[in-house]
Amino acid sequence: MSAGPAPAEGAADAHWLRRTVELSRLCPPSDTAFSVGCAVVAADGTVLAEGHSRRDDPRDHAEEAALRGVDPGDPRLAGATLYSSLEPCSSRSSRPLPCSSLILATPVPRVVFAWREPSVFVDCVGAERLRAAGRAVVERPDLAAGVREVNAHLLG
Ligand SMILES: [Zn+2]
């Protein structure tokens, strides 16, 4: 796997969120679901996994595609940051577990996302769920423009 700046507030977060936007451009097109990118990055900047929406299955969310590639026993997860271009979901009809639950099943202590999910399809409280469970959640709305651009056809 590749590597880059060590996750920390500020410039490294911006770097990795821009990477998730690039990943979201790989998503197969959809008129009914957002295109999202996700990267799980260790404390030293090593990329542990990447994913994007609909990568392995038409119903895949980016976070579950990325977490599928993570070894649950990898000790680096305890210091890792999960980056997602969109707020992790808190409910969904197509899978038994929303992405916020998949994240809470890992020891990943920190989640950074760019765009708070708009109420186009479902009300999302993913950030609140993660915070309530003790995870650090950082929202970077200053980087949301690229995410909105990728999903502009869904926003009417
Ligand atoms: Zn999701």
- Domains observed in the chain: 11-150 (3.40.140.10)
Which range, of 43-47, 86-90, 108-112, 115-119, averages the lowest pLDDT? 115-119
**pLDDT range class, residue 146, cuts 50, 70, 90:** very high
Query: Rounded to the nearest whole angstrom, what is the distance from the C-alpha of residue 70 to the centroid of ligand 1?
Result: 16
Work out the number of other CB atoms within 10 angstroms of the CB of residue 6: 14
The model's confidence at residue 123, banded by pLDDT at 50, 70 and 90, is confident
Flag whether pLDDT at 95 surpasses 90: no
8 A C-beta contact, residue 4 and residue 39:
no
Cα(112) to centroid of ligand 1, in Å? 14
Distance between Cα 97 and ligand 1 center (Å): 9
Is 63 annotated as catalytic?
A: yes
1-5, 10-14, 110-114, 150-154: segment of lowest average pLDDT = 1-5
In angstroms, the CA 146 to CA 156 distance is 16
The angle subtended at Cα 48 by Cα 23 and Cα 5, nearest 5°, is: 75
Beta-bridged to residue 50, according to DSSP, are 39
Q: Which residue stretches of 1-155 are H helix?
A: 11-24, 62-68, 99-104, 126-132, 144-150
Q: How many angstroms separate the CA atoms of 30 and 46, rounded?
A: 31
Exactly one of 9, 22, 50, 63 is catalytic; which is it?
63
pTM attached to this predicted model: 0.92
The residue that leads in pLDDT, 95 or 119, is 95
CA 68 to ligand 1 centroid distance, Å: 13
